[in-house]
Amino acid sequence: MRVANRSPRAVIGTGLKYVVGFLACVWMLFPIYWTLTTAFKTREAILGSTPVFVPTLITFEHFRTIFSGSVDIQANILNSVLVAVAAVGIGILIGVPAAYALSRMDVPRKGDIGFWILSTRMAPPLAILIPLVGFYFAAGIGQGLIGLTVTHLLITVPLIIWIVKGFIDDLPDSLEESAMVDGCNRLQALRTVVFPLVAPGVAAAAFIAFIFSWNNYVLALYLTTGESATLPIAVSNSVGTYSIQWGQLGAAVTVTILPPVVLSLLIRNYLVAGMTMGAVKG
Amino acid sequence: MGAMIGLSAITERYRRSEQSLLNRLEISDRTLRWLFMLPSIVVLAFISIVPLVRAVWMSLHDWNLTSGKGAFVGFGNYETLLFGNPEFFRFEFDPSQPFEFVLSGSVVHQAVYTGLSVSIEVVLGIALAMYLFSLSERWQPIVRTIFVLPMLVTPIATALMWRLMIDGSIGVINYMLQFVGISPPAWTSSPVMAMLTVVIVDVWQWTPLVILIVFAGLLSIPESRYEAARVDGAPRWAIFRHVTLPGIKYMIAIALVFRLMRSFREFPLIEIVTSHGPGTATQIMNIQLYRTVFVGTGDAGLGAALGIVLIVVTVGICMSIVRRVGMMQ
Amino acid sequence: MASVTIEDVTKMYGSGDGGIVAVSDLDIDIRDGEFVVLVGPSGCGKSTTLRMVAGLESITEGTISIGGEVVNNTEPRDRDIAMVFQNYALYPHMTIRENIGFGLRYSSDLPADERNARVEAAAETMDIEDLLDSKPGQLSGGQRQRVALGRAIVREPQAFLFDEPLSNLDAKLRVKMRTEISRLQSELGVTSIYVTHDQAEAMTMGDRVAVLDGGELQQLAPPQEVYDHPTNRFVAGFIGSPSMDFLETTVERTGEGRILVSRSNETLSYALERSTADRLGIETGSDLTLGVRPEDVDVSGDPADRDRRTSFEATVDVVEPMGSDNFLTLDVGGPESWSARVDSSFVPEEGSQVGVAFDESVLHLFAADGRTLKSKGTGDGSYHGTEAIAA
């Protein structure tokens, strides 16, 4: 179509579309852009009376400070990784078989069990935390990473069960049946046919669960103290105690959001399924 | 060859053959299903049902986090919460001055915060999803990635980003507002503005989730349905009303469930941006719960009562939507 | 190879009053090397039956034996059977070679090189040697079908089970694969059970056809016998395309004979020889269903030149030229429209009046309960005799 043939209305419409799109993208991106650039700006550029939109002078000083200087968040990163990996690992270990059973096997009151698992994810975890803390102290764990990991299972297990169940539901039954007619028992059919085919789904579920565990703030707020603090706790603690070191804050935020953003983009095709516990297929 | 061997011979061959260990494990489906289910059920029972029952038990007692169980008080904690706790609910009205009344408390803040942010997110999310859907194949993947990004940011980081941008002295948004001649609002120091600020931050973070879900719904509407409507001469609004909207109704319900679920348990976005203030102006139920139990006197009995109320409200609302739209079948 | 015996088999889903009976008291004895087709409308229990033979469904009552051994509690993998699924169930993450060799790997202890030799032999039989190293996703529907068959034959099992294997193919390929499966089966001589809802497949492929409806066996017989001598009205209507023409009638007495009068239109009638009526024990006042195959309907342009007692007038609704012959859809004045298969040179105008006649010898008669009283070519009595075979 030639431009000359377009009606004025169509031209305005197209123009408007670009403007709306541009504004929406700015709205979505600017906070991230601003924080990322702040992490690389010099103190002068950050505190100057005119904001620097495109930093010309780039410094890694803030990253040095948070990794080896006065703040040192390395231990906190390690804590976060430990808790998330453990909670996701256990979640996969116990959640994937449960997902398979719920999807394929003749489990009595299957629907009710499924809904119950879903509802455990809906309940605000703080309400559950009050009595759990009592248990942890009684068990001698108290505040710390073990208690936090156990509590994070509340995040990872239902998530993994429902996401993986969705992926298994999508697989035709006849694949396992064929394998079982062809000489496998159910476990062997699972290993040779089902697992290889749902592996991407399991990976997606693991990544999503990792992100939710990594991002969690409120459980760690009470359950961790001092050196057991996870990254979100450490980052938030750096604010407000005395005058805020904005550059360090920007650097810490950058480090915090990097894993979830990278993982999410890796599983972008499964993101909707993951975020909705399998209710929406991407 | 193999065809000549009878069944018993085949079975015999099995016993002797060097099959993998897995294939020699004879576990019936009846056993296997419980082997598969039980670990998850046990773990989830231990970290959800047992604590829930205990939370109910605690809510019926005077219970302090450090000193432990006190006297049985029945529904005393619930009574205190509903009728004697201005942080939870406060309504003062003098009939002689009908225009000056006080309505506050975490329930009210929760209603305003959740109602406002979730409805803006749903409307904005549908609009932007449709915008995304209208884009050409060249731009769609790029814009989609951009539209998803805020959702991927750790909430605590989101809150800090916004603090950086609305800071009184170095906040870039204030600078931009002044640049176009608007005097910057008191972002976090006036009760009404503080609520609006946390709503804005929430909208920034979570509209992408609605976009993503609704967009998946738009993709699932078959092209032929639009074509049929166009052939029938339906105007654009009618196509939206009769083709698009029915096609994404289910997705909107799902988006609503996940947004409500998150909104009722929100914590870092508010706590970091406004510290639930000024005063308690942006304190929602989840934050009040935290502060009641884990900060200050440690009134676990009252906190448990508040937790039970919060669970009932959240699970009740979410499950009623889930069951109504028949999701997760 | 082996015989497959299904004895008094019942399958119930759920239990108690809420249970659903999927298969009821089924008896089918399949001889060694025989090809039996299970056919019926959806929900008739044919797939459930096949899956019980495979061991994928439990058996509520009765026994299934393969090669004389009861396999009720035998795992599918220990039954030495091969199954071809409707969606082929090829493993998408494995190559065609791995797909075909899968069963050998797990159900035999052949060394790898011998397994591979057999895979290649099977691929050659199915003419898919070139595809051995591709993945299922790269194959067309017809090729996938061939792989699925290859996967079955490589096992050299006691029995082949086919679960509607051709329903995902287009019409032309379906006909081609139909003959191919028949050829394969007769060459290998492996006992086969084939489930389909397509009566054309049932007619062309099976040594014997088992017609099922509502979980019950209606008839088990060679295809031609099922076609010519259906045991009841359901089988008569289900087998054959276009299906049999029916008229619901009541028997009335005329002077010397019996006359079948349409229950919905009194002017519509067909006279029956009295001797026939007596032989069949047809009583005046009883309800009978008259049936006639479309190819046995004799249509002529002039309604007048007919014996009015064994013919009636009809209006031509639609003429469908099929090339070799024409299908007519006729309105005979009853509730159900009739079909007739006529020579391609006979093209009546749509809406015109024609005469419809048929000889008593081609007539099928069904009692009120559906059981056959008389079938085609048996003018002197019912083929099936008087004893009811209908279940």
In terms of phi and psi (left: phi > 0; alpha: psi -120 to 50; beta: otherwise), the region of C215 is left
Distance (Å) from the alpha carbon of B294 to chain C's nearest alpha carbon: 51
CA distance B213 to chain C (A): 28
CA atoms of A179 and B24, how far apart (whole Å)? 15
> Within chain C, which residue ranges are assigned CATH 3.40.50.300?
4-236
Q: Do C107 and A197 touch (CB under 8 A)?
A: no
CA distance B199 to B207: 11
Instruction: Tell me if the domain spanning C4-236 has CATH number 3.40.50.2300.
Output: no
Band of residue C4 on the pLDDT scale cut at 50, 70, 90:
very high
CB proximity B134 to C under 8 Å: no
- A 187-206 residues with CB < 8 A to B: 187-188, 191
Query: Does A222 sit within 8 Å of B290, measured CB to CB?
Result: yes
Residue A182 to chain C, least CA–CA distance (Å) = 4
Does the structure show a pLDDT above 90 at B87?
no
B-chain CB neighbours of C157 within 8 Å are 3
Closest residue of chain A to B11, computed from CA coordinates: A183
Closest CA to C271 of C237, C221, C308: C308
pLDDT over threshold 50, residue C382: no
Task: Name the residue among B2, B7, B18 with its Cβ closest to that of C66.
Answer: B7
Taking the CB of residue A29, how many other CB atoms lie within 10 A of it? 14
Q: Judge whether C153 is closer than 8 Å to chain A, CB to CB.
A: no
Q: In this structure, is residue B37 part of a structural domain? A: no
CA-based radius of gyration for chain B: 28
d(CA B260, CA B284): 13
Relative to beta strand C35-39, strand C61-66 is unpaired
The ipTM is: 0.91
Residue C246 pairs in a beta bridge with C291
Res B236: pLDDT = 87
Range with top average pLDDT, A178-182, B122-126, C101-105, C333-337: B122-126
Chain B contact present for A17, CB below 8 A: yes
Which of the given ranges, A50-54, B28-32, B124-128, has the highest pLDDT on average?
B124-128
C110 in contact with A at a CB cutoff of 8 Å?
Answer: no
Q: In B2-136, which ranges are continuous DSSP H helix? A: 7-16, 21-24, 29-44, 50-59, 76-83, 106-134
**pLDDT score of B18 more than 60:** no
Q: Residue C164 corresponds to which tokens in the numbers above? A: 């509607």
List the chains bordering chain A where 3 or more Cβ pairs fall under 8 Å: B, C
Q: How confident is the model at residue C138 (pLDDT cuts 50, 70, 90)?
A: very high
Asked if A104 is an interface residue toward chain B (Cβ–Cβ < 8 A), one would say no
Classify each residue of C158-176 as buried b or exposed e, where b means 16 or more C-beta atoms within 10 Å of its C-beta: bbbbbbbbbeebeeebbee
pLDDT, position C117: 93
Alpha carbon distance B317, B325 (integer Å): 13
For residue C12, the surrounding DSSP H or E stretch is: strand C4-13
Average pLDDT value for chain C: 88
B328 close contact with C: CB closer than 8 A? no
Burial of C84 (0-12, 13-18, 19+ CB in 10 A): buried
Name the residue facing B161 among A211, A253, A280 (closest C-beta): A253
Architecture of the domain whose range is C238-374:
Beta Barrel (2.40)
Task: Give pLDDT, residue B90.
Answer: 87
Range of the domain at B255: 101-324
Do C80 and B7 count as a contact with CB atoms less than 8 A apart? yes
The residue among A182, A185, A188 with the most chain C CBs within 10 A of its CB, best to mutate, is A182
Q: Which of C1, C105, C156 to mutate to test the interface with B (most CBs of B within 10 A)?
A: C156
The pLDDT tens digits of the residues spanning C316-375 come to 999 999 888 999 999 988 788 999 999 988 888 888 888 888 888 888 999 999 899 888
Res B19 pLDDT > 80: no
The total domain count for chain B is: 1
Residue written as token pair 């629907």: A111
Q: Which residue spans of chain C are classified as CATH 2.40.50.140?
A: 238-374
The DSSP letter of residue C232 is B
CB–CB of C87 and A172 under 8 A?
yes
Number of Cβ within a 10 Å radius of residue B4: 8
* Contact in structure between B299 and B88 (CB atoms under 8 Å): no
E strand or H helix that includes residue A130: helix A125-138
Q: Which residues of chain C does B1 touch, with a Cβ-Cβ cutoff of 8 Å?
A: 156
Residue C213 has pLDDT above 80, yes or no: yes
Chain C residues within an 8 Å CB radius of A183: 77, 103, 105-108
Q: Which amino acid appears at position B119 of this protein?
A: S
CA-nearest of A141, A127, A125 to A213 is A125
* Shortest CA distance from B19: residue in chain C: C106
In terms of CA atoms, which chain B residue is nearest residue A185? Answer: B23
Q: Name the residue among C67, C71, C109 with its Cβ closest to that of B13.
A: C109
The helix (H) or strand (E) run that includes residue B234 is none
Quick check: is B266 in a domain?
Answer: yes
The token pair at A17 is 């579309």
Spell out the per-residue pLDDT of chain A, length 282, in tens. 445 566 788 888 888 888 999 999 999 999 999 999 999 999 888 888 888 888 888 999 989 888 886 777 899 999 999 999 999 999 999 999 999 999 999 888 888 899 899 888 888 889 899 899 889 988 888 888 999 999 999 999 999 999 999 999 999 999 999 999 998 888 989 999 999 999 999 999 999 999 999 999 999 998 988 888 999 998 888 765 556 888 989 999 999 999 999 999 999 888 888 888 888 876
Task: Judge residue B314's burial from the number of C-beta atoms within 10 Å of its C-beta, 0-12 exposed, 13-18 middle, 19 or more buried.
Answer: buried
Is A150 at the interface with chain B, CB within 8 A? yes
User: Residue holding tokens 């969606």?
Assistant: C87
- Of C381, C382, C362, whose CA–CA distance to C372 is shortest? C382
For chains B and C, CB pairs below 8 A equal 35
Q: Which domains does chain A have, with CATH numbers?
A: 3-59 (no CATH), 69-275 (1.10.3720.10)
CA–CA dist A125, A129 (Å, integer):
6
Sheet harboring C353-357: ordered strands across? C298-300, C353-357, C311-321, C325-331, C338-343
Give the separation between CA B130 and CA C274, rounded to whole angstroms.
77
- CATH number for the domain that contains residue B137: 1.10.3720.10
Residue reference for tokens 């976005």 = B269
Q: Which of B49, B328, B329 is most worth mutating to test chain A (most A CB atoms within 10 A of its CB)?
A: B328
Q: At what angle do helices B245-264 and B106-134 cross, to 10 degrees?
A: 140
Q: Which two tokens stand for residue B308?
A: 């039970």
Scan residues 20-79 of B and list those with Cβ closer than 8 Å to C. Answer: 23
Nearest to B146 among A25, A244, A281 (CB): A25
| In chain B, % of residues over pLDDT 90 | 58
In percent, how much of chain C has pLDDT > 90? 59
Residue ranges of chain C whose CB lies within 8 Å of a chain B CB: 1-2, 66-67, 69, 71, 74, 78-80, 106-109, 155-158, 190
pLDDT digits (tens, 9 = 90+) for B212-264: 999 999 999 998 988 898 888 888 889 999 899 988 998 999 999 999 999 99
Cβ proximity of A39 and A251 under 8 Å = yes
pLDDT score at C386 = 42
Mean local confidence (pLDDT), B52-79: 90
